[in-house]
Amino acid sequence: MPKIISKKADHHCRRMTAAFSEYLDKDLRKQLCRKLEIHLTGCSDCRMYFDTLKRTVTLYRSLEQETLPKDTEKRLFATIKLARSKGKK
């Protein structure tokens, strides 16, 4: 959470940070987007918070699919074959 200076700012920033995720997902209403963007230009703590949040999400989005090991695939098809033969009985 961004570092907070006053109680009033604390409340305001907390409400803003709760919306950052939706903003990143382009899920936020236009009016709220504008409000958030204005807040970000004036609040360096929130800007830093937003920047690191965005990069965290980007990193997870860039994770590649795990490779299926060949042996695992072989065992999968053997299991399917077994289920098929049981189903036929």
Partner 1 sequence: MKQQIDQDILLQQARDGNSRSFNQLVKLHQSRVYSVALRLLGSQSEAEDVLQETFIALYQNLHHFRGGSKLATYLFRLATNFSLMKLRRSKRRGSDSSPLSLNVIEELPDKAASPLESLLSSEFRAVLDQQLQKLPAKDRAVVVLRDIEGLDGWQVAKILGLTLPAMKSKLHRSREFLRKNLSGYLKDS
Question: Which residues contact partner 1 (rule: CB under 8 A)?
Answer: 1, 17-18, 20-22, 25, 27, 49, 52-53, 55-57, 59-69, 72-73, 75-77, 79-80, 83-84, 87
Is the Cβ of residue 11 or residue 55 nearer to partner 1 in the bound state?
55
Q: How far apart are CA 80 and CA 4, in angstroms?
A: 57
In whole angstroms, how close is the CB of 8 to partner 1 at the nearest point?
22
Q: How far apart are CA 19 and CA 27, in angstroms?
A: 9
In whole angstroms, how close is the CB of 11 to partner 1 at the nearest point?
17
User: At 25, which helix (H) or strand (E)?
Assistant: none
User: At 8, which helix (H) or strand (E)?
Assistant: helix 7-24
